[in-house]
């Protein structure tokens, strides 16, 4: 089936919608657990699905290096390879090339780099990124872009934004030549422009003229203050098409998500809930808990007795504390499961609030809980 975004309602600028993909529907606003290397770390795929997650993210850079996109394709594609029957979004690999690889050289054609694994040399171009994502068989794909790290000089931000626009055109041409739309797949353009409002607006306006199925906002949540990120969203989102989904890449904390939803963002991803779980931190409706703390050692209560998630409901804080202190893998598994479940429950509550017209009240309530974290 063709990829399609279905608007379902609004409350202020907050949007309620539904993505239709070849592997099912995704209710938005949505949070995507990160499955960098074809796995959400420390979780079984069926447990990820049990939290209510309808889409996960895979990473082009990591999968192109190991096990290679060609091997994944030969084995039936990423859905079959990782036993995930629902929607998959893949990023372009550009951010990881800039941040993880060894020696790299950026040029108009693409970026040449050395693998962080074995030092092997590779060239990632807009066309190759789209080809890799097509071999993986992801439902939603990203154009190759350059994410300029902040802070940066305006001239450098502008250079990266204009290069990303040229790469957007090439990515779209490659995507259509490879039959992406005809196979029910989607390609999103990525807005760049750093912390310069005029560049963000220009990037969004130029991308809107290209026939992307959706639009991502990149180059934020890279160390700048939250106020800067939100100001860039205020500048960017009104320029993007109202009938296409908007995806804020790499975000983030519960408070970041709540404030971005209030401004009209539909999709999010972040390693935060899974990484925190592996380091003994739990996200709950009562706030964030560090299970390493000795105060949990004698606490027989679960993280939340009213939760639908077994990891949250059925194991005592004392036991979780014990597992974390001993470095047992089960501790990381249970806390990751809890965190992914919390993020999904947060998104469900935000969706319900938009439907009910109570979003501002819920925003205030949850903002008071998470703004201090």
195 is catalytic: no
Give CA–CA dist 165/184, Å, rounded: 24
Catalytic residue among 11, 47, 139, 269: 269
Neighbours of 60 (CB within 10 A): 28
**Options 91, 145, 256, 304, the catalytic residue:** 91
Q: Residues 189, 193, 199, CA angle at the centre, nearest 5°?
A: 105
> Is residue 243 packed enough to be buried (19+ CB in 10 Å), middle (13-18) or exposed (0-12)?
exposed
Distances (CA, A) of 79 to 20, 23, 352: 17, 9, 29
Peptide bond before residue 245 is cis, with ω within 30 degrees of 0? no
Closest to 231 in 3D by CA, of 150, 153, 160: 150
Q: Is the dihedral of CA 207, 208, 214, 218 positive or negative?
A: positive
Residue 269: active-site member? yes
- Phi, psi of 270, rounded to the nearest 5 degrees: -170, 145
Catalytic center residues: 91, 269
């Amino acid at each position: 089936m063709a990829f399609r975004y279905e608007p379902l309602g609004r409350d202020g600028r907050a949007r309620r919608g539904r993505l239709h993909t070849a592997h099912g529907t995704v209710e938005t606003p949505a949070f995507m657990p990160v499955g960098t290397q074809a796995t959400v770390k420390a979780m079984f795929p069926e447990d990820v699905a049990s939290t209510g997650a309808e889409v996960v993210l895979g990473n082009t850079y990591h999968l192109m290096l190991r096990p290679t996109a060609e091997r994944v394709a030969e084995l039936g594609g990423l859905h079959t390879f990782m036993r995930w029957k629902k929607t998959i979004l893949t990023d372009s690999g550009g951010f990881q090339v800039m941040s993880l690889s060894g020696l790299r050289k950026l040029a108009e054609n693409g970026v040449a780099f050395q693998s962080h694994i074995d030092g092997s040399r590779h060239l990632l171009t807009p066309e190759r990124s789209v080809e890799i994502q097509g071999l993986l068989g992801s439902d939603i794909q990203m154009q190759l872009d350059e994410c300029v790290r902040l802070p940066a000089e305006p001239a450098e931000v502008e250079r990266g934004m204009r290069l990303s626009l040229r790469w957007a055109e090439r990515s779209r041409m490659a995507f259509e030549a490879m039959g992406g739309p005809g196979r029910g797949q989607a390609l999103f353009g990525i807005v760049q422009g750093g912390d310069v409002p005029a560049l963000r607006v220009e990037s969004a306006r130029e991308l809107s003229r290209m026939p992307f199925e959706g639009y991502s906002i990149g180059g934020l949540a890279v160390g700048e203050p939250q106020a800067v990120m939100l100001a860039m969203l205020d500048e960017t989102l009104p320029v993007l098409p109202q009938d296409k989904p908007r995806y804020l890449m790499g975000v983030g904390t519960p408070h970041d998500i709540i404030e971005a939803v209030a401004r009209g963002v539909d999709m999010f991803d972040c390693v935060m809930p899974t990484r925190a779980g592996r380091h003994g931190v739990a996200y709950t409706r009562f706030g964030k808990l560090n299970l390493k703390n000795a105060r949990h050692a004698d606490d027989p209560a679960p993280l939340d007795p009213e939760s639908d998630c077994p990891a949250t409901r059925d194991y005592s804080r004392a036991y979780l504390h014990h597992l974390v202190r001993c470095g047992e893998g089960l501790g990381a598994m249970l806390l990751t499961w809890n965190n992914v479940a919390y993020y999904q429950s947060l998104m469900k509550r935000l969706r319900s609030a938009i439907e009910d017209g109570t979003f501002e009240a819920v925003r205030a309530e949850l903002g008071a809980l998470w703004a201090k974290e």
